Chains A and B, each alone.
Chain A
Amino acid sequence: MTDKTPALRLENIVKTFPGVRALDGVSFEVLPGEVHALMGENGAGKSTLMKVLGGIHQPNEGRILVGEEPVVMANPLDAKAKGIVFIHQELSLAEELTVAENIYLGELPRKSFGRVDWKTLHARTDEILAQLKVGFDARTVVGTLSIANQQMVEIARALTVDAKAVIFDEPTASLTDAEKVVLFEVIEDLKRQGVGIIYISHRMEEIFRITDRISVLRDGQYRGTLVTAETDEDEVTQLMIGRSLDLSRNESHAELGDVAVEVRGLSCGDLYRDVSFEIRRGEVVGFYGLVGAGRTEIAETLFGLREPSFGQILLDGEEVRLHSPADAIARGISLVPEDRKGQGLVLGMNCRDNMTLPQVDDLKAGPFVAEGAEVAIFDQYRDRLDIRTPGWRQLVGNLSGGNQQKIVIGKWLSMHPTLLIVDEPTRGIDVGSKSEIHKLVRDLAAQGYAVMVISSEMPEVLHVSDRIVAMYHGELIRSFTSDEVTEDNLIQAISGIRPDEKAA
C-alpha cells in the first residue's frame, strides 16, 4: 500500500478558532482505490476537517496534497476543481430542476447565442446515469426522486469532474437497507476507477463492510489508523472513546404495569391500515420496519399531528381524540421526533428555554415565567441525563447531537408523560452518546413509563425493546417478545412474510 502515491494527503493540519483548537496536528492519507473511514465522536473534529478540505476554512498550519502537489483550497468551487468532491449528508440540489440541469449546473453545454444544448446535455447525463445503474433519466425532475436517488444525482455530479477523492458524509443516514446496497455498489465502482474515498459514518456495520482502513479522531487530534480487516468494532470504539460498548439484546424485564395506551384498528389512508397494539407502563415497545412502513405516521397520529381515518386510541382505558400536539401533550403523550433540529429544538434558544418550552404556561410567578423554577428543572435534568453543557444559557445549536437529544428527552421527562414516543432516538449521534441514550430508555421503562421506540437500526431495537412490533407497508405484521425475536424472523416480518401460525 505504501508504495502508491496517496490520492489525497493531509499533513499536520492545525485549525484554531477563538478559544478552541479544533484540529490539532491532524495527518492522514487516502490511497487511490481505497475506502478510508474517518471516525470520531461528535465534536472530534471531523466536520472541521471536512470544511478545511472543502475550502470553507483555511488551516492555520499544515498542508494538503492532491497526488504529489500541495494545494490551497480557496473555496468550495476551487476544491472541486482540484478534484475533491463532497457528497453531503444534507443534499444541495435544486429540486425544481431536472437531473441533467442539476448535474451540469453552471457548466451547461452551449450552442450559438448562449442557448443550452439540451441534446448533448441529456446524452452526457444519461451516460453517467448508466454507469450508476439508476432507474431514472436525465429529464427527471429532482424533486420527484427519493432521497436515495437524489443522492445518486449528487454522486453523478461528482463523476463529471476528474475526482481524485470523493468524500461521503453520513451517506446512509436516510437510506433504506436496499438503497444502501446500491450505494455500496457505486462506491465499489469508484474504487475500481482508482478514486480515493473518505467515508464518514457512525455506523459500524457499514464501516466494516466497505472500508479498507479506518482513521480515528478524538478531541481534534489524530488517534491512529487501523486496517479494517485486522481490527474489530471494539478496538475502533476504544480508540474513539476509550471504553467498550455493549450492543446486545435487552435482557432486563421490567415489571409491567397497566396498559397505558391501546390502539384499536387504527387506519390512516394509505399510510397504515388496521393497526392494533398496546403498550404497558414499564414497557419499551420497539417499532421496526423499513422507511415507509408507516411507523412514523402512527407516532404522528398518537401525537395529534395526523388525524386517523378509522380506529380508536385509548389512554388509560379512555378513548381520546387528538387534534393537535397541544391536545396530545395535555393528555400525557410526548414525542421525541426524528428530525431533532427541525422538529425537536429551537436551535437559537438556550438550553433551559428549550427544555421548559412545553410547560412555559404552567411555570408562572404571577404573570411572568418563573425563571427560578425553570433553572431548577434544567439543573435537575441536566444532572439526571448527564447533559454536558457549560450552563443553561448555552444555545442549544452549539451542543453536540447527543446532548441536544438529551435536551429533547429532558423536555418531556420533566412533564411526566404517560407515553413517551422516541422516533430514531440515536440518528446522527456518536457511539458513546448512543449507548447512553439506550440506557436512558431502559431506565425510563424501569421507572414505569410506557415507551414507544421507532428505529431503523436492528441492534438498537433489539437492545432496548421488551417487545418488538414489525411493520411492512403500513401493516403490523407481527409482534415479538424479546425472547422470541431472532434476526431472521425479524427480517422476514419486515419483508412482509407472516409466520405460518400467528403468535397468540
Chain B
Amino acid sequence: MSEAMQSRPAARTGGLTGAKVGTFLARQGILIAFVLFMVGFTVANERFLEPDNILGVIRSSAILGVMALGVTFVVISGNLDLSVGSLMSFSTIVVLDLHDKLGPALAIPAMFAMTLAIGAVIGFLVGYLRLNSLIVTLGMLSAIHGLTLTYSGGQNMDIADKEGTWFSVFGQGEALGIPVPILIFAALAALLGIVLAKTPFGRKVYAVGGNGTAATFSGIRRARVVFSCYLVSAFCVATAGLIQASRSMGSQNTVGQGMELEVLAAVILGGASLMGGSGTIFKTVIGVLILGFIQNGLLLIGLEFYVQYVVTWIIIILAVWLDVAAKRGRLLSPIA
C-alpha cells in the first residue's frame, strides 16, 4: 500500500480542436438537419430553391410563425400554451364579424382587446392561481372553441364587401415586393427578440423558467411574469388572427384547429426546452422555417396531403432526436 505522496505533472493537452468542432456540431444540430433537408429537397425538385417558392413558404408560415413567437415566451417561462389554435379561430371570427358592424378601424382594436382579455384569464389561472398550464390551456382550447361557436352561432363569417375595404392589406398586401404577412412576422420577431434578449422583462422570463423558486428568492414576482407571457402570447395570436382574416376575408370557426401542436413543434424544433429557461426568438424563427420548408418540400415531391401529416411528424421527431443525440454525444439514451 502506498502512503507516500504522489505527484505527477498535470497533463491537460490535446483534443481541444476536436472538442470545439464537436461542441459546435452539438449546438447546431437542428441547423444541420435543416440544411440536410434543404439539400435533399433541392436535389429532388429544383423548383424548391426558387425565390418565388421560398417567399411563398415564408408567407404561408407567417401566421404559424407569429403565433410561435408568443408561445416562445410562454415555453421559456416554463409553461405551455395549447389554446393558441383555438384562440386564433376566435380572433379571426370576431374581427371578420366586427368588420362589417363597426368598420375595420374599430374592429381591429376591439378584437385585440377581446383576445387579450382571454389571454389575461389564462395568465391569471396559470400565474396567480398556479394551476398547471397544460390542464388550463387544454381546457381553454375547448372553452374558447365553444365561445367562438356561441359568438358566430356556428356560421361561417364573411366580409360582405371584399373589394371596398383596406382590411385586406394585412393578409394580401405587399410592400417593396414583399408580402405584408412576412413583414409583420419579421417586425414582430425583431421586436419580441429584443424584448426577450435585452429587457429586464426578458431576463425575468428566463429566470422564472430556469428556476422559479430561485427567481422568487431573488424578488421577482413570478406570477406577474407568467401572466405577462400569456398576454404576449395572446397579442401574437390576435395578430395572427388579423393576418388570417385579412388573407381569406372569410372564415370557418375551426380555422386555427390543430395549430397549437404545429406551433409547439416549431418552438421545440427551434431548440427551446419544454422544461423552461432556454430558447430564443431567433431559434423559434428557424424552427418555423424548417417546418414550413419540410411541408413545402413534401408537397413539391408530390406526396399526398394526408401522407404529409405523417411524414412531417416523423421528420420532426427525427430532427429532435438528432439534436438530443448530438448534445448527448450518442444516439441512444446513456442510462438503460
User: Which residue numbers of A lie inside 8 Å of B, CB to CB?
Assistant: 1-2, 16, 18-21, 24-25, 27, 29, 56, 75-77, 219-227, 239, 303, 324-326, 328-330, 335, 337, 342-349, 353, 357-358, 360-361, 363-364, 367-369, 411
With a cutoff of 8 Å between Cβ atoms, the chain B residues found around residue A348 in the complex are: 210-211, 277-278
> CA separation between A145 and B176, bound complex, in Å?
69
Are B217 and A346 interface neighbours, CB within 8 A?
Answer: no
- Asked if B16 CB lies within 8 Å of chain A CBs, one says yes
Decide if B8 touches A353 in the complex (CB within 8 Å): no
Question: B195 → chain A, closest Cβ, in Å?
Answer: 9
Determine which of B16, B18, B207 lies in contact with A357 in the assembled complex, contact meaning CB atoms within 8 Å: B207
B302 near A: Cβ within 8 Å?
A: no
Q: Is the CB of A346 within 8 A of B206?
A: yes
Whole-angstrom CA separation of A224 from B4 in the bound complex: 6
Would A368 and B16 be within 8 Å (CB), given that A335-B217, A346-B206, A347-B210 are in contact?
no
Do the beta carbons of B200 and A221 come within 8 Å of each other?
no
Among A19, A224, A324, A357, contact of B6 (Cβ-Cβ < 8 Å): A224
Knowing that A224-B5, A329-B219, A337-B217 are A-B contacts, what are 12 other residue pairs whose CB atoms are under 8 Å apart, sorted by A's residue number?
A: A20-B12, A29-B1, A75-B335, A77-B336, A226-B3, A227-B3, A324-B219, A348-B278, A357-B218, A361-B200, A363-B200, A368-B194
B199 contacts the other chain (CB 8 A): yes
18 contacts between A and B (CB under 8 A): A16-B15, A21-B11, A24-B8, A221-B6, A224-B5, A225-B1, A225-B2, A225-B3, A325-B218, A326-B219, A329-B219, A330-B219, A335-B217, A343-B217, A357-B215, A360-B204, A367-B199, A411-B218
Most buried by B among A27, A344, A348: A348
Asked if residues A324 and B221 are in contact (CB atoms below 8 Å), the reply is yes
Residues of A within 8 A of B194 (CB): 368
Q: How far apart are A477's CB and chain B's nearest CB, in angstroms?
A: 29
Return the chain B residue nearest A16 by Cβ.
B15
Asked whether A346 lies within 8 Å of B277 as measured between CB atoms, the reply is yes
| CB–CB A219/B10 < 8 A | yes
A20 and chain B: residue at smallest CB distance? B12
Question: Does B150 make an interface contact (CB < 8 A)?
Answer: no
> B86: shortest Cβ distance to chain A, in Å?
32
**Complex interface: chain B residues within 8 A of A358 (CB):** 218-220
Majority-rule SS of A interface residues: mixed
Q: How far is the CA of A226 from the CA of B3 in the complex (A)?
A: 6
Chain A nearest Cβ from B277, distance in angstroms: 5
Binary contact track B1-32/A, C-beta < 8 Å → 1, others 0: 11111111011100110110011000000000
Give the secondary structure class of B's interface. Answer: loop
Closest CB-CB distance, B91 to chain A, in whole Å?
27
The CA-CA distance from A330 to B200 in the complex, in Å, is: 17
Alpha-carbon gap, A222 to B5, bound state (A): 8
Most buried by A among B4, B8, B16, B217: B217
The complex places the Cα of A20 from the Cα of B10 at a distance, in Å, of 10
Q: Return chain B residues, CB-CB under 8 Å to A56.
A: 334-335
Write out the residue numbers on chain B whose beta carbons fall within 8 Å of the beta carbon of A330: 219
CB contacts (< 8 Å) of A328 on chain B: these are 219
Question: In the bound complex, do residue A223 and residue B217 qualify as a contact, i.e. CB atoms below 8 Å apart?
Answer: no
Contact of B203 among A16, A224, A325, A369 (CB under 8 A): A369
Q: What's the nearest-Cβ distance from chain A to residue B327, in Å?
A: 13
- CB proximity of B310 to chain A, nearest CB, Å: 35
Q: Are A223 and B6 in contact (CB under 8 A)?
A: yes
Write out, one digit per residue, whether chain B residues 114-144 have a CB within 8 A of any chain A CB (1) or not (0): 0000000000000000000000000000000
CB neighbours of A344 from chain B (8 A): 214, 217
Asked if B45 lies at the interface with its beta carbon under 8 angstroms from chain A, I say no
Q: Which residue of A is nearest B207, CB measured? A: A346
Asked if B207 and A19 make an inter-chain contact with CB atoms under 8 angstroms apart, the answer reads no
- Residues of A with C-beta under 8 A to B335: 56, 75-76
In the complex where A19-B15, A24-B11, A75-B335 touch, is A223 in contact with B210 (Cβ < 8 A)? Answer: no
Please, which residues of chain B bring their CB within 8 A of the CB of A1? 1
**Which residues of B183-209 are within 8 A (CB) of A?**
194, 198-200, 203-204, 206-207
